[in-house]
Amino acid sequence: MDALLAGRNVLTVMPTGSGKSLCFQVPALVLGGITIVVSPLVALMQDQVAALRLAGVAADAINSSRSRDENVAAWRRVVSGETNLLYMAPERLMTERMLAALSRLQVRLIAIDEAHCISQWGPSFRPEYRDLSRLRELFPAAPIAALTATADEVTRQDITAQLFAGNGETIVLGFDRPNIKLTVEMKRTWKSQLLSFVDRHRGESGIVYCLSRKKTEEAAGFLAENDVRALPYHAGMDKAARDANQNVFMTEPGVVIVATIAFGMGIDKSDVRFVFHADLPGSIEAYYQEIGRAGRDGLPSEAHMLYGLGDIQMRRMFIEREDAGEERKRREHQRLDALLGYCESPACRRRALLDYFGEPSEDCGNCDLCLDPVGTEDGTAEGQMVISAVLGTGQRFGAAHIIDVLRGAKTEKAAAAGHHRLPVFGLGTKHKKEQWRSLIRQLVAAGFLTLDVKGFGGITITAKGEALAKGEETFHYRPDTVRPARPSKGKSRPPEQDQEFSSAEAALFARLKELRLRLARQRDVPAYVIFSDRSLADMARRRPKNPAEFAEINGVGAAKLEKFAAPFLEAIAIAG
C-alpha cells in the first residue's frame, strides 16, 4: 500500500485469503479518481463488486454478462466520478475505444488480479493478458499493482518485465499455509478412498477436484448415494444450474462441491475445511492455488491428493495435445515432473512445496510424511552419481540425457558432446530409466537439484547438492516409488546387494561405507567413485582376506586394487 500510494509499481505475491484485494482497494479510496481493476473471470469480478458495495465502496463492473443498458449506466457513473473502482476483463479494457475513453478520466491506479496469467512462463498463461504490457505507456501517471498467490521466481521476473519494464518492486509475503494439512496417497480404488476421506469430514464444507466432467458427475452422484450433500460443477453444465450449485455451496453449511478446475478462482468462502484431488493436478502452481481455497479462516483444514500412473499418462497426453509450441510443451512437462517429485517426496511435503517457490522452511509437522514417516533407503551413492552427471554435462541438460549418461546409452547427443568419456558414463545400469526418473524427481523435491523451467529444461545443482557430492549431506529416497523390476522366471537371481544381510554383514557394510566416505572426502570426490554399494555389499558377504581375493570383488579393477585394497582389507580384518 505504501509503495502504491508513493506512485511505485508493485508485484505482490501473497497466500490465498491473506488480503491481496485490500492492497489495491485501500489505496484506491485514498487516491480518489478511478482505479481500474483487471480480473480474468466475470463471476469473480461480480462477487468482488457486490462485496465492495456491501462495504459502502462505490464499485462497478463492465462485462459481457451484463446488459447493454447496465453497462452504459455503469459507465455514466464512472464518468460522473461516482465510481472509485471499475472492474473489467482484459479483453474489454484493451479495446481502442475503451482505452481512449479512459484516457480522458483521472485514472489514478491500475490493479491486475491473478497476474500470473500474463507470464508466458506460467502454467495459466492467457494470451489476452499479454496486451496489458501497454498500460504503463498509456497511463504513465498511474502506478500498477500486480497481484497473485501463485508465481515462482521465473514467473515473477517475467511479470515485472512485461508490466513494469523492470521498474517496480516485488513483495513476496510467503507461500506457506501452515493450517492446511498436506497428504498424498497412491490411487487404488478412488471411490472408496474418496468416501473414506469425506467420512472424516462429515458436515464440513469441502471441494473435490476431478479431471473430467464425467468423473465430476460420477463422484458427486456417488457421494450423494452415501448421504453426503454433494453437488457437481463443471463448464458443461447449464449456466443456471451451475450458478445455483455454487450459490448453495457459498451460502449453506456442510456442502461438498465436486468440480473441475472451472470452479474456484476467487471463491471467497472462509470455512472450506478440505480440498480433495481425485486426480493429479497439472502442476505445482495449479495444486497450490487449488488447495489454497481451504482454511481461509486460518482454522485447521486438509488437502488430500490421489495420484496414479494413469493420471501421469493423461497429463502427458494433455500437454502433447495442447495447441502450443514445443518450447511451452517442454516447460509443462518440467512442471509436471516437479509435481511428481512432490508426490514422491521422501520427507516433509511442505518443505518440498515451499522449496519449489524458493521459500526455505523446516519440517512442518503437519503433513503425512512428518506425522507418519515412510520407510526410506540410503540413496547417497545414486544422488552423487546424478550430481556428477549433471556437473559433467555442464548443468544444461534435462533428466532424459542425464539418465542416458548414467545408463551408458550410446546416443548421438552423448557422442557429439563427448559425454561418453565421462567417468560416470554407464555407472547407473543397476536402475532402469523410470527408476532414475523417480530418483531425480526426489532429488529435486529434496532441494539437491533445481529444474530450469525458463531455460532449456536443464537440471542445475544447488548448494545442498554440492554438499551431497562432497559427502557432507546424505540423500534418502522412497523405495516404493523406485520399484526394481522383478526378475523373469528362469533368469538369474536378483543382485547380491538386494538380498538381506545377516546382522554381522550389515554391521560390516556400515563400517565399509564409513571408510568409503572418509576416503572420498580425502580425495574430494563423490563416494560412489571409490566403490559402489554393490561392491561394498560383496565385500561384506565374501570378506576377502588378501589382495587376490579382493581382486575378485565386484567392481575391483587393477587401479582400485592398488589404491584401496589395503584400507578395505584392514577394515574387514578388524571386523573379524
Q: Where are the domains of the chain?
A: 2-172, 180-371, 377-481, 498-575
Q: Write down the pLDDT at residue 457.
A: 61
For residue 367, give the DSSP letter. B
Report yes or no: 16 and 176 within 8 Å, Cβ to Cβ: no
Q: Write down the pLDDT at residue 333.
A: 83
List phi, psi (to 5°) of 119: -85, 130
Q: Domain 2-172 belongs to what topology?
A: Rossmann fold (3.40.50)
Greater pLDDT, 332 or 103: 103
- Say if residue 434's pLDDT is above 60: yes
Greater pLDDT, 79 or 326: 79
Q: Write down the pLDDT at residue 489.
A: 35
Which architecture does CATH list for 377-481? Orthogonal Bundle (1.10)
Report yes or no: 212 and 260 within 8 Å, Cβ to Cβ: yes
Q: Write down the pLDDT at residue 331.
A: 80
Q: Write down the pLDDT at residue 570.
A: 93
Q: Write down the pLDDT at residue 253.
A: 86
Question: Tens of pLDDT along 89-122?
Answer: 898 999 999 999 999 999 999 999 988 888 765 5
Report yes or no: 286 and 152 within 8 Å, Cβ to Cβ: no
Residue with cell 497476474: 115
pLDDT (average), residues 299-322: 85
- Say if residue 315's pLDDT is above 50: yes
Report yes or no: 250 and 276 within 8 Å, Cβ to Cβ: no
Selected from 3.40.50.300, 3.40.50.10490, 3.40.50.1450, 3.40.50.2000, the CATH number assigned to the domain covering 180-371 reads 3.40.50.300
SS3 549: helix
What is the distance between the alpha carbons of residues 226 and 417, in angstroms, rounded to a whole number? Answer: 60
Report yes or no: 61 and 74 within 8 Å, Cβ to Cβ: yes
Confidence category of residue 252, pLDDT binned at 50, 70, 90: confident
Query: Rounded to 5, what percent of the chain is helix, strand, coil?
Result: 50, 15, 40
Average pLDDT, the chain: 87
Q: Which three cell numbers stand for residue 467?
A: 554438499
Q: Write down the pLDDT at residue 488.
A: 34
Contacts of 225 (CB under 8 A, 6+ apart): none
Q: Write down the pLDDT at residue 120.
A: 64
Residue with cell 508426490: 343
For residue 128, give the DSSP letter. G
Question: Closest Cα to residue 123, out of 83, 97, 155?
Answer: 155
Contacts of 232 (CB under 8 A, 6+ apart): 216, 217, 219, 220, 245, 257, 258, 259
Q: Do domains 2-172 and 180-371 have the same CATH topology?
A: yes
State the CATH class of domain 498-575.
mainly alpha
- Beta strands 459-461 and 449-451, pairing class: antiparallel
- Say if residue 237's pLDDT is above 80: yes
What is the distance between the alpha carbons of residues 168 and 75, in angstroms, rounded to a whole number? Answer: 30
Question: Tens of pLDDT along 362-394?
Answer: 899 999 999 988 888 899 999 999 999 999 999
Report yes or no: 147 and 23 within 8 Å, Cβ to Cβ: yes
Report yes or no: 178 and 250 within 8 Å, Cβ to Cβ: no
- Say if residue 76's pLDDT is above 50: yes
User: CA neighbours within 13 Å on the CB side: how many for 398?
Assistant: 14
Greater pLDDT, 214 or 116: 214
**Cβ contacts of 241-249, under 8 Å, gap ≥ 24:** 246/43, 249/205
Q: Write down the pLDDT at residue 338.
A: 86
- Say if residue 501's pLDDT is above 80: no
Report yes or no: 230 and 220 within 8 Å, Cβ to Cβ: yes
